Amino acid sequence: MKKIIPYIVLAVVMLGILLFPVKTAAEYVRIEFPGNENGILKGETCSLYYATAAPDAFNNDQRVDCKVDNDRKYIEFKLDGELNNNIKGLRLDFPGEEQVFAIAGINVKSAGFVKKRFNPCSFFEDKYILKTNDIPETTSLRDGDIVFISTEGEDPYIVFTDEAVAKLTKSFDHFIFTKLVICAFIAGCFFSYVKDPFKLRNMKQGEEE
């Protein structure tokens, strides 16, 4: 019986970790620009509006801004963990400038890991775009997997369809993998202690065997 107790304790600890309530991790939507002159974006800020009531009910309270930094070559929007399963629509706003720029990649990150990568050519296909404003043209360059977007006027934006929204917002991390790794580590330490692979249990550092 005495031998079983440590195993029971281990099981309880692991179960405790697995059941420990944690908040859903935030999700980061990153839009990457190519490293050449096509990836230079004029203007100061891009925004991502998220609608929680209806697919097209956007307002300024539900908006994430990202400053344009052409040295960094990407813009990134953070969607809080609480928005998991609550986002019904997304609207991507570009600076109100007349320009043509390229998008080289879209990826979604949560809990420190890249969860999904999307080819911009696929992502900016017509079937994923519900509505645009002040964006006369989006052109896909299939060979280089790059999309060129031209904007003009005051308020250029793209509203995505439900399908695209679902794609972008289903990667919120619930830390399940992280918890499993922690449990595996604890179990590993436990068995390492029991097995004592180095068989040096009686030896203090600095003393001879």
Name the residue nearer to another protein (CB basis): 42 or 175.
175
Residue of 14, 25, 164, 168 that binds another protein (CB under 8 A): 25
Check residue 193 and give left, alpha or beta (phi > 0: left; psi -120 to 50: alpha). alpha
Name the residue nearer to another protein (CB basis): 110 or 169.
110
The sign one gets for the Cα dihedral 127, 28, 115, 84 is negative
Which range binds another protein by CB under 8 A, 1-9, 42-50, 94-102, 172-180? Answer: 172-180
Is 26 one of the binding residues for another protein (CB under 8 A)?
yes
93 - beta bridge partners?
47, 157
Is 37 one of the binding residues for another protein (CB under 8 A)?
no
Please name the residue that has the structure tokens 């969607």: 79
Is 110 one of the binding residues for another protein (CB under 8 A)?
yes
Q: Where are the alpha helices (DSSP H) in the chain?
A: 4-19, 120-123, 162-169, 176-195
Query: What span, in angstroms and rounded, lies between the C-alpha atoms of 179 and 122?
Result: 34
Site pattern 176..195 for another protein (x: CB under 8 A)? --x--xx--x--xxx-xx--
Name the residue nearer to another protein (CB basis): 55 or 175.
175
Name the residue nearer to another protein (CB basis): 2 or 197.
197
Q: Considering the complex, what minimum distance in angstroms separates the CB of residue 29 from another protein?
A: 14
Closest to 70 in 3D by CA, of 50, 41, 92, 96: 41
Please name the residue that has the structure tokens 């991507």: 92
Binding to another protein in span 46-85, by CB under 8 A: none
DSSP assignment of 103-139 equals E-EEEEEETTEEEEEE-HHHHTSGGGEEEEES--EEE
Is 209 one of the binding residues for another protein (CB under 8 A)?
yes
Chain residues binding another protein by CB under 8 A are 25-26, 35, 109-115, 117, 119, 143-145, 173, 175, 178, 181-182, 185, 188-190, 192-193, 196-198, 200-201, 203-209
